[in-house]
Amino acid sequence: MRSLPLPSLSARTVYRTSISRAIPRHKQRLDALEQAVLNAADVFEAAASVAALHTLKDLAKKPVDEADRTQLTKTYTSRLVPESAPGNALYNVLKKVRHKICPLCGHRDVSTLDHQLPKMKYPLLAVVPINLVPACGICNGLKGEHVPKAASEQTLHPYYDDLADQQWLFARLKWTENRPPEITYFIRPPKGADRVLAARVIRHFQMFCLAELYGPNAVREMSNIRGILRGMNAAGRHKYLLLAEGSVLVDKDAGGQNHWKRSLFQTLAGDSGYLEGGFDQF
Ligand SMILES: [Zn+2]
């Protein structure tokens, strides 16, 4: 749930570099497809910038020729990704992110590129930079071959969607008698938020199983700070947690509004049961 700056590499550069060492009969085919790839990149950009990737059904049908489709897909798997491939240096540039954090989950390290629209279904977009999002392996696997069929089914695109100005992610601490307390994460769209965007954020949260990722992280964090909180009274704990929340908030790169730690510290600071002794149960 983090935004990223648009890639600086053009579709033409990445495509031409990747196909540069293809054997002659494949090279000829791929050269002939270059304009179609550049056109597809333009169509993708126009749709992505208005969150309308669900409208690109026609692009999935192109090119019709199966051998063309195969060679375009291989341009990613054989000509861009492998270490010995002509496009590998560009692959590494596209994968590079400050802090190495996957923008889709905001937590694990980047290890691959995720196709916003899958290459098997959209071979013309196989090596188009704005369709390639740095991601961790788990997010990449969870998204799989997902293609949005409606506006609300689009997961967030880190180059075009930015939630940093408002808080969407919240945590809730639930106390039940005779049971250990539970921390759960959920999305609460800000007041006045666009309805489609709200549906997309919820879709993103569910697709990447973020509640299942953040919940156990939060429990570990609470266990880590238990010792520190023991040495304070309730007012001191409240102050400590507000400072911790502030430190996540001030650095957008380190976390920001929608980092799981921000929501955690915010919730704990506002929970009197936790501050007055409940913290010792984690
Ligand atoms: Zn991830």
Task: Please give the average per-residue pLDDT across 126-145, as a whole number.
Answer: 97
Interval between CA 200 and ligand 1 midpoint (Å): 17
Interval between CA 67 and ligand 1 midpoint (Å): 33
How many whole angstroms separate alpha carbon 170 and alpha carbon 260? 8
Residue 269 φ/ψ, nearest 5 degrees: -65, -25
pLDDT band at 112 (very low <50, low <70, confident <90, very high): very high
Interval between CA 107 and ligand 1 midpoint (Å): 6
pLDDT value at 149 more than 70: yes
Interval between CA 207 and ligand 1 midpoint (Å): 11
Interval between CA 145 and ligand 1 midpoint (Å): 16
Give tens-digit pLDDT for 76-100.
999 999 999 999 999 999 999 988 9
Residues 6+ apart with CB under 8 A from 77: none
pLDDT at 282: 87
Strands (E), the chain: 112-115, 132-135, 169-176, 179-187
Interval between CA 97 and ligand 1 midpoint (Å): 13
CA angle 265–266–269, rounded 5-degree value: 80
pLDDT value at 132 more than 80: yes
CA distance to 48, 217, 248, per residue, from 243 (Å): 38, 19, 9
pLDDT value at 140 more than 80: yes
Interval between CA 209 and ligand 1 midpoint (Å): 10
Give tens-digit pLDDT for 176-234.
888 878 999 999 999 999 999 999 999 999 999 999 999 999 999 999 999 999 999 99
Task: Name the pairing type of β-strands 179-187 and 132-135.
Answer: unpaired
Sequence ranges of the domains in the chain: 11-148, 169-281
Q: Which of these, 5, 208, 2, lies nearest to 93 by C-alpha position?
A: 5
Give tens-digit pLDDT for 235-275.
999 999 999 999 999 876 666 899 999 999 999 999 999 99
Interval between CA 112 and ligand 1 midpoint (Å): 10
- Mean pLDDT value across the chain: 95
How many whole angstroms separate alpha carbon 52 and alpha carbon 49? 8
Interval between CA 98 and ligand 1 midpoint (Å): 14
Which residue is associated with the tokens 């889709």?
104
pLDDT at 234: 97
pLDDT at 170: 98
Per-chain residues with Cβ under 5 A from ion ligand 1: 102, 104-105, 108, 136, 139
Interval between CA 116 and ligand 1 midpoint (Å): 13
Task: Please give the average per-residue pLDDT across 4-8, as a whole number.
Answer: 95
Q: Are 109 and 100 in contact (CB under 8 A)?
A: yes
